[in-house]
Amino acid sequence: MWKRYGKRYSNMALITCRDASFAYEGNTVVEGLNFTVESGDYLCIIGENGSGKSTIIKGLLRLKTPQTGSIVAGDGLKPSEIGYLPQQTVVQKDFPASAYEVVLSGRLGARGILPFYSRADKAIAEENIRRLDIVDLRNKCYRELSGGQQQRVLLARALCATKKLLLLDEPVAGLDPLVTQELYRLIEDINRQMGITIIMVSHDVRTAVKYASHILHLKNTQAFFGRTEDYVSSGVGISFLNCGCADGRHAE
Amino acid sequence: MINALVEMFSYAFIVRAVIVGLLVSLCAALLGVSLVLKRYSMIGDGLSHVGFGTLAVATALNIAPLSISIPATVLAAFLLLRISENSKIKGDAAIALISTGALAIGIMVISFTTGMNTDVYSYMFGSILAMSTSDVTLSVALAVVVLVLFIFFYNKLFGVIFDENFAKATGVKTFLYNMLIAILTAITIVLGMRMIGALLISSLILFPALTSMRICKKFKSVTICAACVSLASFFIGIVVSYSYATPAGASVVIVNIAAFALFWLINSLKRRT
């Protein structure tokens, strides 16, 4: 039997992507994807707008099937065990729901066909509310929270859905610098202390190299995949870090 | 007052109308919360036009109206969702297409057969006399089905409405639940349409949800409050309709508007203090 966490025990990567490409209505958006994610990794997917970052997230979530190649989950990872922090939608901005209701809805996938939440589901929700330090927001209305508070609530919901893998799509978009730093630190803690694998899409390359263990750089094809140390000394990395500061900073 | 109520309920047709009306109001309010939050408000309106068209066809063919209206409206709901999910025609345009199309077909069929008579008039603006005993039985049964399904899938519906992508990613069959909302809405609309009127029924879906959203901050309280507002509005509306001999549908909608204005006022006063 494999242990749940820690790559030492597993005989297969958490996610293996082989020669995958994605297309919308016949137009290939991104191709030549070859990378693996091991348990406990912190992978940052970076690239300019339109380089295929969000498409990969959809592929990993199985919301979109690859046109060629494959994405295989290993290490006993089931699709319902992926936590996801999506970009906010218009619908959510004025949604009348308490923070608690939102966090608890992270347990939906685990419920299957069963209609009501169990005591265990509620306990998991409470645990994540405490972990993300949003106890005072518990009964507040989601739409009245600040951007940073909303992200914490959504992060708690994502943690309710997973013990293994968290996918984050531009988690700091629209947040002020201070809240951004806090959120990055929180994500780092989740990775280090809970042993949860992180895959994050970002266009802030400087923060990416600061926190991530691995980098996947996209330019509609795979420009770089490997350890962060190797990335910062690679050709792609150096040029993106130097001119990419404009890309990273201006976008915020 | 009590005497007036007792007198009112001594009429069998009023009792039938109140039973069906309360159940339909309850279903409409519950589904309305989902539809409004999912930005599907226009689907309710579109489906009521489809319902009108099918009722006209049923009258022309001289068959029980519900037996043709319900399947046809459910089918229209399915098509509307399918179209708005995949195709290049955007959702709102698709609704306009299907609803006006169905309306046109209905009017054509009517003009070839009976002509614009009282029946047709009562479909458009509603009639309290429309409910027969067999309608009541069917309406009660269907309303119970709608309520049970809604309660059973309440948590799933919340997840799907709040964040469809997240729900899908964690393995919830979102299309199924969208379908469920649309089908239940279609049934509710057809049931309520003949009493409230095809042109007015969608307000029964929208108003209670929007009213309770003025004040309530949680999904659960919004849902419960919408249900209470809807039931109260219907009851007051039907009493007004009986007392002053006004059309039932329009009376109920007017009470709903008053409730909306009241909640809106309370909220803006609350904000100021």
Give the range among A238-247, B148-157, B182-191, B231-240 with minimum mean pLDDT. Answer: A238-247
The residue-averaged pLDDT of A26-42 equals 87
A138 to chain B: nearest residue by CA? B218
For the record, the structure tokens of B44 come out as 């309710």
DSSP states of A62-126: TSS--SEEEEEE-TT--GGGEEEEPPP-HHHHT---BHHHHHHGGGHHHHTT--S--HHHHHHHH
Asked whether residue B83 is domain-assigned, the answer is: yes
Own/partner long-range contacts of B96-100 (Cβ < 8 Å, ≥24 apart): B96/B46, B98/B46, B98/B50, B99/B45, B99/B46, B99/B47, B99/B48, B99/B49, B99/B50, B100/B49
For the record, the structure tokens of A153 come out as 């609530």
Terminal Cα-to-Cα distance of chain B (whole angstroms): 37
Whether A82 contacts B170, CB under 8 Å: yes
Asked whether residue B8 is domain-assigned, the answer is: yes
Nearest to A80 among B155, B165, B170 (CB): B170
Q: How far apart are CA A29 and CA A21, in angstroms?
A: 8
- Taking the Cβ of residue A106 and every Cβ of chain B, the question of whether any pair is shorter than 8 Å is answered with yes
For the record, the structure tokens of A174 come out as 């629209």
Q: How far apart are CA A95 and CA A140, in angstroms?
A: 12
What's the pLDDT score for residue B257? 96
The residue-averaged pLDDT of B240-255 equals 91
Domain that holds residue B215: 2-267
Residues, chain B = 273
- Closest by CA to B206, choosing from B80, B55, B25, is B25
The residue-averaged pLDDT of B210-221 equals 92
Q: Count the domains in chain B.
A: 1
Residues 6+ apart with CB under 8 A from A112: none
- pLDDT > 70: percent of chain A: 91
Nearest to B166 among A86, A101, A141 (CB): A86
Whether B241 contacts B253, CB under 8 Å: no
Residues 6+ apart with CB under 8 A from A186: A132, A152, A155
- Taking the Cβ of residue B170 and every Cβ of chain A, the question of whether any pair is shorter than 8 Å is answered with yes
Asked whether residue B149 is domain-assigned, the answer is: yes
Residue A141, amino acid: C
Whether B35 contacts B157, CB under 8 Å: no
Residue among A77, A95, A140 with most chain B CBs within 10 A, to mutate: A95
pLDDT digits (tens, 9 = 90+) for B161-180: 898 888 888 888 888 888 88
Helices (H), B38-173: 41-61, 65-86, 91-112, 118-125, 133-152, 154-162, 164-169
Task: Say which DSSP state B88 is in.
Answer: S
- The reply to whether residue A101 touches residue B161, judged by beta carbons under 8 angstroms, is no
pLDDT digits (tens, 9 = 90+) for B94-105: 788 888 898 898
Asked whether residue B245 is domain-assigned, the answer is: yes
What residue ranges define each of the domains in chain A, with the CATH number in brackets? 12-77+167-176+193-252 (3.40.50.300), 88-163 (no CATH)
What's the pLDDT score for residue B234? 94
Asked whether residue B272 is domain-assigned, the answer is: no
Rounded mean pLDDT of chain A? 83
pLDDT tops 90 at residue B258: yes
Nearest to A92 among B163, B171, B216 (CB): B163
B34 to chain A: nearest residue by CA? A95
Residues of B in contact with A63 (CB under 8 A): 165, 168-169
Full-model pTM: 0.83
Asked whether residue B160 is domain-assigned, the answer is: yes
> What distance lies between CA B184 and its chain's CA centroid?
10
Nearest to A109 among B162, B172, B216 (CB): B172
Residues 6+ apart with CB under 8 A from B25: B192, B204, B208, B230, B231, B233, B234, B252
Distances (CA, A) of B150 to B29, B62, B117, B245: 11, 33, 37, 35
Burial pattern A145-166, b for ≥16 Cβ within 10 A else e, equals beebbbbbbbbbbbbbbbebbb
- The reply to whether residue B167 touches residue A109, judged by beta carbons under 8 angstroms, is yes
Asked whether residue B273 is domain-assigned, the answer is: no
Residues 6+ apart with CB under 8 A from A45: A53, A56, A57, A199, A200, A201, A202, A216, A218
Residues of A in contact with B209 (CB under 8 A): none
- The reply to whether residue B217 touches residue A82, judged by beta carbons under 8 angstroms, is no
Residues 127-156, chain B: which have Cβ within 8 Å of A?
151-156
- The reply to whether residue B169 touches residue A61, judged by beta carbons under 8 angstroms, is yes
Residues of A in contact with B216 (CB under 8 A): 96
Rounded mean pLDDT of chain B? 86
- The reply to whether residue A96 touches residue B39, judged by beta carbons under 8 angstroms, is no
Q: Look up the ipTM and state it.
A: 0.80
pLDDT digits (tens, 9 = 90+) for A190-204: 898 888 999 999 878
Torsion sign over Cα B255, B261, B266, B267: positive
Q: How far apart are CA B49 and CA A223, in angstroms?
A: 54
Residue among B163, B180, B215 with most chain A CBs within 10 A, to mutate: B163
Nearest to A102 among B162, B165, B216 (CB): B162
Whether A168 contacts A198, CB under 8 Å: yes
- The reply to whether residue B218 touches residue A101, judged by beta carbons under 8 angstroms, is yes
- Which strand (E) or helix (H) includes residue A199? strand A197-202
Task: Say which DSSP state A132 is in.
Answer: T
CATH (domain of B158): 1.10.3470.10
Asked whether residue B218 is domain-assigned, the answer is: yes
What's the pLDDT score for residue B212? 95
What's the pLDDT score for residue B260? 96
What's the pLDDT score for residue B230? 95
- The reply to whether residue A63 touches residue B168, judged by beta carbons under 8 angstroms, is yes
